[in-house]
Structure 1
Amino acid sequence: MKIIEFLMQQWLLVSVLVGLVYVYLWNERRRSGRSVSFHEATRMINANEAVMLDLREGSEFKQGHIVDAVNIPFAKVKDRMSEIEALKDKTIILVDKMGQHSGSVGRDLNKLGLSVCRLEGGMTEWISQKLPVVKA
């Protein structure tokens, strides 16, 4: 009850806090690269404009991945940055399980001047849409 009473008495402060949190989250998403749907990602790949960078661990990658995706696990991205920089002539679409790691990697790659997007919903969404995967 005290929380409700506080919220009612300090509605202005609470509103400002909610607004600041929203702006922070919006800015972080913007800096990590825009999200692309699986439709747009497929179009970009078919037009040879983009390459998929799968950030999942090798074992998950082998269970099923997008055709021609490059696998560099999230934990090894900084060590293998030269491989990623070699992809600079195309848009890099970051893929992970559900989108949990692609934001931080996207920010790092944007700082290097690379064109980066994030696949909405990650591999979970890709598989739920029954899109093709390759098993290694």
Structure 2
Amino acid sequence: MNDILHKLPEFIGNHAALAALFAILLVALIAMQIAELFGKTKELTPAGLTLLINRETPLLIDLSSIADFEKMHVPGAKHVAMSQFDPENKDLAKAKELPVVVMDKDGRGNSIKAAQRLVKAGFVKVHTLGGGVLAWHAAQLPVAKGNK
């Protein structure tokens, strides 16, 4: 171990670009973890969502395309097109104190934006489903089909 520490400055000197890239990636990873830790939204795994469903009655909002929603969705999820998603809607405003889980097909796009809009609108318990409905299905959890 001591030998590695003595050679580290030489390695960094010979591979400055690689060392700089490592430092940038490390800082970005730390920043993302801190943002998630102190963020107002929490990302749930499929197992975490199952626990939440069993312990509380969350509002499940699926922002997938209608075609993807009809193919498969988490049972009990309500489909809302992102173009029609409005946190200020009076029906949705009734759920400000309930846990709300926002999801989409793969967990990368609209769910994060929608969750941030919910937090700005005053919702207290906002979650996203990490990996989206595809992660739910990959975890071999039950899916519903059709538009209900």
Same fold (TM over 0.5): yes
- Structure 1 gap segments, 5+ residues each: none
Name 1:22's counterpart in structure 2: 29
How far apart are residue 56 of structure 1 and its match? 0.7
- Structure 2 gap segments, 5+ residues each: 1-12
TM-score with structure 1 setting the length: 0.76
Name 1:130's counterpart in structure 2: 140
Q: Say whether the 8 Å CA contact 2:60–2:78 is kept in structure 1.
A: yes
Report the 3-state secondary structure (helix = DSSP H, G, I; strand = E; otherwise coil) of the residue aligned with 1:84. Answer: helix
CA distance in 2, matches of 1:75, 1:13: 38
How far apart are residue 28 of structure 1 and its match? 5.3
Evaluate the alpha carbon distance shift between residue 61 and residue 6 of structure 1 in structure 2; reply closer, same or farther with a 3 A threshold: farther
Larger Rg: 2
Q: Say whether the 8 Å CA contact 1:50–1:91 is kept in structure 2.
A: yes
TM-score with structure 2 setting the length: 0.71
Is the counterpart of residue 52 in structure 1 residue 57 in structure 2? Answer: no
Q: How many residues align?
A: 131
AA in 2 matched with 1:95: M
Name 1:116's counterpart in structure 2: 126
Name 1:84's counterpart in structure 2: 92
Report the 3-state secondary structure (helix = DSSP H, G, I; strand = E; otherwise coil) of the residue aligned with 2:70. Answer: helix
Tell me which of 37, 44, 68 is aligned to 2:76.
Answer: 68
RMSD: 2.9
Tell me which of 15, 38, 44 is aligned to 1:36.
Answer: 44
AA in 1 matched with 2:138: S
How far apart are residue 57 of structure 1 and its match? 1.6
Evaluate the alpha carbon distance shift between residue 74 and residue 39 of structure 1 in structure 2; reply closer, same or farther with a 3 A threshold: same
Identity of aligned residues (%): 20
Report the 3-state secondary structure (helix = DSSP H, G, I; strand = E; otherwise coil) of the residue aligned with 1:35. Answer: strand
How far apart are residue 122 of structure 1 and its match? 0.8
CA distance in 1, matches of 2:17, 2:72: 53
Q: Say whether the 8 Å CA contact 1:95–1:119 is kept in structure 2.
A: yes
Residues 71-109 of structure 1: CA deviation (Å, up to 9, x unaligned): 11223213x641432322311111111111221111111
